[in-house]
Amino acid sequence: MMQCRRLGKTVLLIVIFFLVISQSAIAYNVSRISVEPPGALVPGTPVVVSIKIDLPTQPLFPLSHELRYTTELEKPKWDPDILAGGIEYPAIIQGGKFNSLSGFELSNPRVFGVQLQLEGTAPNVLQTSNITLIRIEELNENGRAIDRSTTESRVTILYLKEIPCCIEPMDETLQRFKSHIDENTARGVNTSAAERKFTEAQNSMDAASSLPEQKYTEALTLLGDAQNSITEGERLLDKAWAENEITAAQIPINNADAVIAWYKTNDLRLTAILAKRELAVAYITEANEAIATGNYSQAREKAHGAYELGNESYNIALSGQQRQCLGRFCNFNLEIFGFLIIGIIVILLASTGVYFYCRKHR
């Protein structure tokens, strides 16, 4: 007898458990939603939303629950049709931003869905905003939403005065980028890669400016593309400037190498010249490594140091070469001058001897 009572209690608890579960489970599913017109909306635009809601036949929609639907559209009009036995049964057309269908209407075993149509107008906004186009949720007997029972669709409402405000700052950024290109062109930097990015950004800007107000989100995407092109263009420009500095720094090093080669053939001391030259080459290496890691400012700094050291090495080598050449030229002139003096003396002595010889035999 006791076992039967325990078994009865167990069965009762199981039944109660499944009843609670069935009451708290989501009793609907949105299988289709369409919006006309699609995309972002201008205030005052008429909107039509069509929703297909499926209801299960087992378990039935709870009698004590209700299906509530809301919107933030202006002047909303709701037209719900209850689907039962393959037939649409029109319900009363409803107004207002909050409406619902009761469990009494939806718990009929023949009811398998609802075809809901919403008509309204896009509201005025003070800034571009996302609003609730439609929200559907199942409420329990206490008027609270069942967990995970909310289905929501949102839409962007445009604040039209914002569109020019987005384009104008981007145009200023583009013109600033152009001035950076011009400055580097004057330095002799190869700006071709940056100029291609400028053209890309300009094309995106022109496309964004030409779009109608309803294409606001597309315009924002194009403005984002323009900003990306400008950012990449500035990076390429910075890199090209650093590379140009390295190329300029290599010139005095090459000049110093040419003079060093002359020194080697003339067996002169090269310690001071080579020390500065090797340090300049090390700076060039560090500058190239800085470019590889994207640190263009450090690359330009190292290239500038290499340029100065290369020039110092070249000037020291060149001045030594000039002094060496001058010294050899002076020695050469003294030798010639000595030979000339001796030659002149010989000529004078010979002339004197001839003169006296002639007078003696006259």
Total length of the chain: 362
What is the pLDDT, as a whole number, of residue 201? 94
Q: Hey, how many other C-beta atoms are within 10 angstroms of the C-beta on 362? A: 5
The helix or strand, by DSSP H or E, that contains position 7, with its residue range, turns out to be helix 2-24
Q: pTM score > 0.85 for this model? A: no
pLDDT tens profile 51-61? 998 888 778 88
Helices first, then strands: H and E counts in the chain: 7, 10
As a whole number of angstroms, the distance between CA 14 and CA 2 comes to 18
Q: Which of 11-15, 287-291, 338-342 comes out lowest in average pLDDT?
A: 11-15
Domain assignments of the chain as residue spans, ordered by start: 26-157, 163-296
Position 155 pLDDT exceeds 80: yes
Cross-strand partners of 53: 30, 114
Per-residue pLDDT reduced to its tens digit, 210-265:
887 667 778 878 888 999 999 999 999 999 999 998 888 888 778 877 777 776 66
Class of domain 26-157: mainly beta
Whose structure tokens read 């009572």? 5
- The mean predicted confidence, pLDDT, of the chain is 77
**155: helix, strand or coil:** strand
- Spatial contact of 99 and 91, defined as CB atoms under 8 Å apart: no
Short-list 99, 103, 115, CA closest to 33: 115
**SS3 readout for 254-284:** HHHHHHHHHHHHCCCCCHHHHHHHHHHHHHH
- Which residues, other chains included, contact 115 with Cβ-Cβ below 8 Å and sequence gap of 6+? 50, 51, 52, 53, 80, 81, 83, 88
pLDDT at 77: 94
